[in-house]
Structure 1
């Protein structure tokens, strides 16, 4: 699928439906990046549906606590919990997963929303570019580590949990060069200081990480046995007012300001798409399996992602991702073998 600029404009101007509702009594919801923007607004929407637990997964203690108080004031929901996680630190992700294994119980909905939109390279203590680690590596690591809890929930409570990875329609406009899609260690290349030192290479960093989110969802689904009662999808929240673009400066900032005034959704409207991906099609949830959700329906991903070159890049990056994360936490390899190896693709 190709997305023209005019198609993007038309989609942004369409009337948006109200938030979908469901009974979340006794269910547990985790939202990453829940203290601000579409993450907070999605959390607010979930809070109106009487969930047993909502866990706000945030990096900042103070901002998370403020979000808890604001959530209570605006919805009356008083059972929200703040759990700290820093996706720029693999140890923090592992600690979060360990804590959930000890204290979490059931897990019905995981919305992986946290992301960084940056044009500059900043290395993490783990040695990766911060955007690549936060947006893709750590997002995937947490999904792997919480996968057993979601599948256990499915069997124990006869339900179908959902993993929602927030991607972006910006992936449609990427121009992937041959040297990248043929690179067997593309993640290591993209994370290297040498590659990131070129400002031209960093211009596409955010949409590229969002493409990898889609690759992760598609690759995970292709390896997840169809009998597994778990729905995994990627969702495009649309073009929203967001702190993601706070690094914009000069003419780019001016253009973005004008575009926001003309086209941007509010964060609450954008959050409705996250909630839709997490709750819609309750009677036939399998219709959303492996879906790329945009404008409240499943749509095709980019032509590149569907091309032979894109599929090869997806499979290579999956193998590399499992290898990288398996060294970060040996449980990743165990989880892949136990839950995904029955349906491996060639």
Structure 2
């Protein structure tokens, strides 16, 4: 599928559908990046559906506590829990997953919303470009580490848990250069200081959203059809967001004018996250492995669907599993135990 600038503008001018609602009694919902923006607005929607547990996964203790207070004031829901996780640190992700495994609770919905969009290369303490680690390595790491809890929930409660990864329509406008995609170490190349010093970094955020789509499709392709866990990617649309707060100069001015012209409110954008987590409850296979946009399952980019994109997706999956398996051996065990080779 090809999306032009005009297609993008038309999609922004559509009136968003009302938020999908469901009874979440007894169910556990986890939202990453829940203290602000899309994550917080989605959390408010979930809170109004009476979840058994609602976990706000946030990087900052102070901001997380403030979010819980605002959530209770806005919805009356008093059972929200704050769990700390910093996706810029693999150790923090591992600790979060270990805590959840020890907690022993069910996991019905995991919304992986946290992302960053820096304008320049910023290495993490783990030695990766921050945008690549947060958006494309820690996000899959946490999803894979929590997969056994979702599968256990499905088996014990006869439900179809969902893993929702927030992507973007910006994935339509980027691909991976052949000189990179033909390299056996695609992620290592993309994360290197040398590569990040080139003009290619100007599209780093778009690229990370493409990699999110690849992850969802690759994971779904390796989940046995009998496994009732639904994995999907979702585009919230172009919304008012703190994600672009680091912009400056002309880019900031253009973004400001675009927001005033046709951006969705943050709450309107959050409805897409909720739709991806709850829609088609009676027929969840409808949404399995899908890319959600405008409250519908939509075709991904031509590049993703191409033979070149498919090869890149498979190579990136293999490299990612190798990288994350070294970060936490549980990843290798989970892949071997719960997933199957791509058909």
Q: Secondary structure at the match of 1:293?
A: strand
1: CA distance between counterparts of 2:60 and 2:82? Answer: 10
| Structure 2 Cα separation of the partners of residues 331 and 228 of structure 1 | 19
| Displacement of 1:244 | 1.2
* SS in structure 2 of the partner of residue 225 of structure 1: coil
Equivalent residue number for residue 53 of structure 1: 53
Q: Which structure 1 residue ranges, 5 or more long, are not aligned? A: none
CA apart distance, 1:201: 2.0
For 1:30 and 1:104, locate their aligned partners in 2 and report how far apart those are by CA, in whole Å: 14
Residue pairs, 1:16-55, within 5 angstroms: 16-55=16-55
Q: Which residue of 1 is the match for residue 339 of structure 2?
A: 340
- 1:107 Cα shift? 0.2
Q: Which residue of 1 aligns with 2:220?
A: 221
Question: In structure 2, what is the Cα distance between the partners aligned to 1:317 and 1:119?
Answer: 24
1:243 alignment counterpart: 242
Gaps of 5+ in 2: none
In 1, are the aligned partners of 2:175 and 2:207 still within 8 Å (CA)?
Answer: no
In structure 1, what is the Cα distance between the partners aligned to 2:321 and 2:202? 26
Q: 1:128: which partner in 2? A: 128
Supply the RMSD in Å over aligned alpha carbons.
0.8
CA distance in 2, matches of 1:135, 1:345: 24
TM-score normalised to structure 2 length? 0.99
Give the Cα separation in 2 of the matches to 1:312 and 1:82.
39
Assess, with a 3 A threshold, how the Cα gap between structure 1 residues 104 and 44 changes in structure 2: closer, same or farther: farther
> Contact (CA 8 Å) 2:59, 2:86: kept in 1 or not?
yes
Q: 1:197 Cα deviation (Å)?
A: 2.0
d(CA) in 2 for partners of 1:221 and 1:273?
Answer: 20
**Cα distance in 2, alignment partners of residues 229 and 175 from structure 1:** 31
**TM-score scaled to structure 1, two decimals?**
0.98
1:320 aligns to 2:319 (yes or no): yes
1:88 pairs with 2:85: no
Segments of 4+ in structure 1 off by > 4 A? Answer: none
What CA distance in whole angstroms lies between the structure 2 residues aligned with 1:259 and 1:228? 42
1:12-36 CA distance string (max 9 Å, x none): 0001111000000000000000000
Counterpart for residue 272 of structure 1: 271
Note the C-alpha offset of 1:104: 4.5
Structure-2 separation of matches of 1:184 and 1:235: 28
Separation (CA, whole Å) in 2 of partners of 1:26 and 1:149: 15
